[in-house]
Amino acid sequence: MSKFPEHIAIEKANPTAVLDWHERFGDRTLIVEAKQIVEVVRTLKDAFGYDMLVDLTCVDYLPRRPRFEMVYHFLNVESKARLRVKAQLEESHARVASLMEFYPIADWFEREVWDLFGIKFEGHTNLKRIMLYEEFEGHPLRKDYPKTKRQPLMGPQN
């Protein structure tokens, strides 16, 4: 397998940005340095025309370190090319730059990840819960959130 063009271009601009990469069944994945996600996305959008952020989510790999992994799915609407970008985050530094300036849809995606995983997005202008209610404490999709814990607004606790 040879490096794909996006990989080469990102490496040229930011030599330390790409940590790993793989390609299976035509699905291409780049694992990048979380601190450089903005530069990576800028290259992908400006030079390769990835104009749609199809999905932005997070995975909790507890007890692995680094614990969290951000997953971004990009699509070039014109050429139908797809690219997956992952960035790993330590629990002690669960924050990453917001992509709001590139993709307006990142606003809601990032609020969802903040709500359910508790990842902070730097530069997000309105980072508050989108699914759960304001009274909810904690982030329920984290693996260490107790499975049976309930926080009802009314009615019995369980």
Partner 1 sequence: MSELIQSPTMDMTRSLSSNVMTTRFDKLLGWARKYSLFQYPFVTACCGMEFMSTACSHYDLDRFGAAFPRFSPRQADVIWVVGTISHKIAPVLKTIYEQMADPKWVVSFGACASCGGPYDNYATVQGIDTIIPVDVYIAGCPPRPEAVLDGLLKLQELIQNQKHEWK
Q: Which residues bind partner 1 (CB under 8 A)?
A: 131-133, 140, 145, 147, 149-156, 158
Q: From the CB of 114, what's the least distance to partner 1, in Å?
A: 16
Side chain identity, residue 117: F
101 Cβ contact list (under 8 Å, min separation 6): 123
Which whole-number Å values give the CA distances from 132 to 55, 115, 116, 154, in the listed order?
20, 7, 8, 14
Q: What is the largest CA-CA distance in the chain?
A: 59
For partner 1, the closer CB: 6 or 60: 60
Beta carbon of residue 145, minimum distance to partner 1 (angstroms, whole number)? 7
Q: HSE (CB half, 13 Å, CA atoms) of 134? A: 2
CB of 138 to partner 1, least distance (A): 9
Compare residues 66 and 140 and give the one whose CB is closer to partner 1: 140
Which residue's CB is nearer to partner 1, number 80 or number 147? 147
Q: Pick the closer one to partner 1 by CB: 52 or 132.
A: 132
Are residues 55 and 116 in contact, defined by beta-carbon separation less than 8 angstroms? no
CA-CA distance, 12 to 107, in Å (whole number)? 29
Nearest-approach distance from CB 58 to partner 1, in angstroms: 17
